[in-house]
Amino acid sequence: MGVEGVAYTAHGLVLQSAITSADVPLDVVIDWGDGKVEKSTAKGSGVVEHVHTYPKLGEYKVTVTVTDAANGVKAVNTLPFLTRGGDFTPHAPTRLLDTRNGTGAVAAKVAPRGTARVKVAGNAKVPAGVQAVVLNVTVTNTVADGHVTAFPGAGSERPITSNLNYTAGQSVPNLVIVPVGTDGHVELFNGGWGSVDLIADVTGYFTRSEASGYTSLTPVRAVDTREGLGTAKGQVAGQSAFDVQISGKNGVPAGITAVALNMTATNPRQDGHLSAYPSGQQAPITSNVNFAAGQTVANAVIVPVGPDGKISIRNGAWAGADVVVDVVGYYSPASPAAFLPYGPFRTLDTRDPESWYGEGPLPARGYIAQWYSPDSSHEEIEAYVLNTTVTNTKEAGFLSVAPSPFPWLLNDHPDAPQPPRPNSSVLNWTAGKTVPNLVQASDGEHNIIHFWNQGWKDVDLIVDLFGVYESK
């Protein structure tokens, strides 16, 4: 008897037992290794399939016993199985790569069409065997337009998707969640025709063992210094920080380990950056949002929370700036959803007339509805990990992403009811800029995500899928 298994989901196993036997009744017993035993019957030779969902991530020993009672014959075989999904462990923001000063690499700019290798496993207390890593990647000292693609090291090919886009003279950060190669590295490809400096800061990682799962939230505004929401009203002074209560507010419970945010700097009076970090700790040298004077810039952030359930946000500029923070989800031991990397796959490109959308740019003040889970078997998906990019912009605006409040038949109808316009932002753009940002979005009860153009001019939108959070 031979046994083999395949995992299509974060917690599941499809087990196939190839039995060779006389044409007699057989008793089949599966010990799944988690305290659960399943019994069934078979007859003669053939392949018997069983499906099981594990309550926790980890490594299990599956034992299959087939008994031919009539002839007094028993066969036993075992299969070691490691669940496919990954749980999150937060990491204090730590710089792994900075080509400007030789951190993690030779101190030299990355050549056009060149690659920088980031050592992840075994670096800065990130363990060996890590499945995926959360990095804030920043490109700076740019001399031409281009893009950066993050992908696994050994064992993977570079995809056609991009994680961040830049123009000459621009510094651009973006959060990435990327699988780690079999060599423990992540590759950062410079897709431009000019050399660039690259910076990578780790804020967490995923392992295929029980830790913190993910719970998505409809984006809710937690901080707006322009209104005095969540902190004192007025700009955050240069070289100063403020605390934000995360646990126990805006639908976030106590006991979380990290929070997923979209953080925006607006109305800055000088060039600078924002850094988010656990409360009670010294501000790190890492940054989450980089901005120029007068610029509005947003970036996704995953940051550990302090023991008091708070985070700190520091304005690293020498002059004031306003800060806006939207909470989009959280990580906790009680959250059941594990990360399952996909693709990456391009799910939407309004520039492509041959795509499923094919109607041209995302219209001003309008939205595109995209169906992400047409199969009911995907109802266990908690959220999608997407990279959104807006390009061909004509004036300033911002993008919102939210689950649809009604089903597809209403979305697709010419007289579809207008859904409520979200007030949270995912990314902000100005005329002529191409801007990316990571989005961890729920598709709600109807398996549909709305992408809103909150500007007054049409824009092109590109969406790449990098993975899902999947519950048991």
CB burial string 110-144: b at 16+ within 10 A, e below: beeebbbebbbbebeebeeebbbbbbbbbbbebee
What are the residue boundaries of the structural domains of the chain, listed by start? 2-82, 87-207, 215-332, 338-470
Please, is 280 exposed, middle or buried when counting C-beta atoms within 10 Å of its C-beta (0-12, 13-18, 19+)?
Answer: exposed
Tokens of 55: 């309550």
pTM of the predicted model as reported, rounded to 2 decimal places? 0.93
At the top level of CATH, the class of 338-470 is: mainly beta
Do residues 344 and 466 make contact, with C-beta atoms less than 8 angstroms apart? Answer: yes
- pLDDT digits (tens), the chain, 472 positions: 899 999 999 999 999 999 999 999 999 999 999 999 999 999 999 999 999 999 999 999 999 999 999 999 999 999 999 999 999 999 999 999 999 999 999 999 999 999 999 999 999 999 999 999 999 999 999 999 999 999 999 888 999 899 999 999 989 999 999 999 999 999 999 999 999 999 999 999 999 999 999 999 989 999 999 999 999 999 999 999 999 999 999 999 999 999 999 999 999 999 999 999 999 999 999 999 999 999 999 999 999 999 999 999 999 999 999 999 999 999 999 999 999 998 889 999 999 999 999 999 999 999 999 998 644 445 589 999 999 999 999 999 999 999 999 887 766 666 777 899 998 899 999 999 999 999 999 999 888 999 999 999 999 999 999 999 999 8
What pLDDT was estimated at residue 376? 43
What pLDDT was estimated at residue 129? 93
Q: What is the DSSP secondary-structure string of 71-107?
A: TTEEEEEEEEEE-S-BEEEEEEEEEEEETTTTBTS-S
* E strand or H helix that includes residue 411: helix 408-411
What pLDDT was estimated at residue 408? 77
Could you please state the CATH topology (level 3) that the domain comprising 215-332 is classified under.
Jelly Rolls (2.60.120)
Domain 87-207 has CATH 2.60.120: yes
The alpha-carbon radius of gyration of the chain (Å, integer) is 24
457 phi, psi to nearest 5 deg: -135, 150
Query: Residue 291 in 3-state DSSP?
Result: strand
Among residues 423, 467, 450, 433, which one has the least CA distance to residue 224? 423
Domains 87-207 and 215-332 share a fold: yes
Distance CA 207, CA 130 (A): 5
Do residues 148 and 164 make contact, with C-beta atoms less than 8 angstroms apart? Answer: yes
Q: What is the DSSP secondary-structure string of 308-341?
A: TSEEEEEE-SSS-BEEEEEEEEEEETT--BEEEE
Do residues 453 and 394 make contact, with C-beta atoms less than 8 angstroms apart? Answer: no
What pLDDT was estimated at residue 189? 98
Distance CA 397, CA 399 (A): 7
Q: What is the DSSP secondary-structure string of 204-247?
A: EEEESSSSBEEEEEEEEEEEETTTTBSS-SSPBPTTEEEEEE-T
Distance CA 204, CA 188 (A): 18
Count the neighbouring beta carbons within 10 Å of the beta carbon of residue 345: 12
In the chain the first and final C-alpha atoms are separated, in Å, by 30
Domain 2-82 has CATH 3.90.25.10: no
What pLDDT was estimated at residue 412? 61
Distance CA 198, CA 98 (A): 6
